[in-house]
Amino acid sequence: MGTETKIAWMFGLLVKEEAQEAAQKLKMLFKMIVKQPKKLHKNTQKERKRSSKNADIILKGTEKVPKKFI
């Protein structure tokens, strides 16, 4: 393996790790935003459950890192 190939390979791994970290941070941030209670009226338990389910459904797409980063 040539030096250029090694550098490119290592850079690829770094990009992959950074993409995964970014996805994790986005996921946390998104969950916080979606789970915030509405200030206009009190949330019922059903509404809270629904909002967390919506967050999980939306976030399923962000769990996998796009193939171009791998």
| pLDDT value at residue 26 | 82
Structural domain count, the chain: 1
Give just the sign of the alpha carbon dihedral 18, 24, 26, 28: negative
| pLDDT value at residue 43 | 57
| pLDDT value at residue 11 | 72
- Which band of pLDDT confidence, cut at 50, 70 and 90, is reported for residue 32? confident
Residue 51 CB neighbour total at 10 angstroms: 17
Euclidean distance between the first and the last CA atom of the chain, given in angstroms as a whole number = 19
Domain range enclosing 33:
3-69
Across the chain, where does the E strand assignment appear? none
| pLDDT value at residue 41 | 55
d(CA 8, CA 5): 5
d(CA 36, CA 52): 10
